[in-house]
């Protein structure tokens, strides 16, 4: 059976891969321990609305700057 290496630890496949002995439970636990901690990025509904609005405005600014870069790249090719 062919197993795509990039999807070996995909959460949709992990149970089947362990059952089919593609990976061991120890391999999976090792993979999980290497993942970065992103718990500070979670949105909790009971947070102040001001904090959420600040996050929204940052996301909008990032989106605008990305669009500008993409637009510049697109015009260079013409």
Residue-wise pLDDT tens for the chain (78 aa)?
Answer: 677 888 899 999 999 999 999 999 999 999 999 999 999 988 888 766 555 565 566 555 555 555 555 555 566 655
pLDDT at residue 19, as a whole number: 95
Q: From residue 9, give the alpha-carbon distance in Å to each of 5, 23, 32, 64, 72.
A: 8, 9, 9, 34, 37
Q: Is the pTM of this model over 0.85?
A: no
Please tell me the distance from the alpha carbon of residue 30 to that of residue 16, in angstroms, as a whole number: 18
pLDDT at residue 1, as a whole number: 64
pLDDT at residue 73, as a whole number: 55
pLDDT at residue 5, as a whole number: 84
The answer to whether 18 touches 27, Cβ cutoff 8 Å, is: no
pLDDT at residue 49, as a whole number: 59
């Amino acid at each position: 059976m062919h197993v795509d290496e990039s999807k070996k630890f995909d959460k949709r496949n992990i149970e089947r891969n362990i059952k089919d002995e593609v990976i061991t439970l120890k391999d999976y636990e090792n993979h999980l321990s290497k993942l970065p901690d992103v718990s500070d990025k979670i949105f909790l509904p009971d947070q102040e609305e001001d904090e959420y609005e600040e996050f929204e405005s940052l996301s909008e600014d990032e989106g605008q700057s990305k669009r500008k870069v993409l637009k510049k790249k697109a015009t260079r090719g013409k």
